[in-house]
């Protein structure tokens, strides 16, 4: 609603939780016209839970003490899991993945990437850990922004 904002040129961008949130926003908000998500979280949350990666480790510890909560936790995670949102994305997507990422594992990111049905690209960083793509990924995101909005 701000006069300074062109609603036809809305991009979302983030890394880790911000990347996961960017994917979710791209799926749920029709005005988003470009999604840039680096090493995104909220991807295949049930797998993250069972492998105890990132923030899911604390939830796994809770379930260790309260195993009767597993079904409820998995059901709740499903509301936030980009596996369930990916097919709803209607704008181009640029993802990045670090093959040495032990927080947002490559398997989880690829699981979501493979469900995105629109124009998409994934930048693979074989030796990058979590949020470790550096200036090269920033350059690629700036190029994607220029290509989408300035040409």
pTM score of the predicted model: 0.92
User: Is residue 131 within 8 Å of 13, Cβ to Cβ?
Assistant: no
With 80 as the cut, is the pLDDT of residue 1 above it? no
Rounded average pLDDT over 5-24: 95
User: Is residue 121 within 8 Å of 95, Cβ to Cβ?
Assistant: yes
| Residue pLDDT, tens place only, 36-94 | 999 999 999 999 999 999 889 999 999 999 999 999 999 999 999 999 999 999 999 99
Computed on alpha carbons and rounded to an integer, the radius of gyration of the chain in Å comes to 16
Per-residue model confidence (pLDDT) at position 2: 85
User: Is residue 62 within 8 Å of 55, Cβ to Cβ?
Assistant: no
| Residue pLDDT, tens place only, 82-136 | 999 999 999 999 999 999 999 999 999 999 999 999 999 999 999 999 998 889 9
Task: Specify the 3-state DSSP secondary structure of 130.
Answer: coil
User: Is residue 28 within 8 Å of 85, Cβ to Cβ?
Assistant: yes
Phi-psi region of 5 (alpha: psi -120 to 50; beta: other; left: phi over 0): beta
Per-residue model confidence (pLDDT) at position 121: 98
Per-residue model confidence (pLDDT) at position 78: 95
User: At residue 69, what are phi and psi to the nearest 5 degrees?
Assistant: -90, -5
């Amino acid at each position: 609603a701000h006069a300074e904002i062109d609603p036809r040129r809305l991009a979302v961008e983030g890394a880790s939780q911000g990347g996961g949130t960017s994917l979710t926003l791209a799926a749920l908000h029709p005005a988003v016209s470009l999604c840039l998500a680096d090493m995104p979280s909220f991807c295949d949350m049930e797998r993250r839970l069972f492998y105890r990666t990132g923030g899911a480790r604390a939830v796994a510890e809770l379930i260790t003490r309260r195993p009767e909560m597993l079904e409820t936790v998995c059901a709740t995670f499903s509301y936030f899991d980009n596996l369930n949102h990916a097919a709803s994305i209607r704008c181009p997507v640029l993802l990045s993945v670090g093959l040495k990422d032990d927080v947002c594992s490559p398997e989880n990111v690829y699981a979501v990437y493979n469900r995105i049905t629109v124009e998409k690209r994934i930048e693979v960083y074989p030796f990058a850990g979590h949020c470790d793509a550096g200036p090269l990924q920033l350059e690629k995101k700036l190029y994607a922004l220029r290509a989408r909005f300035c040409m």
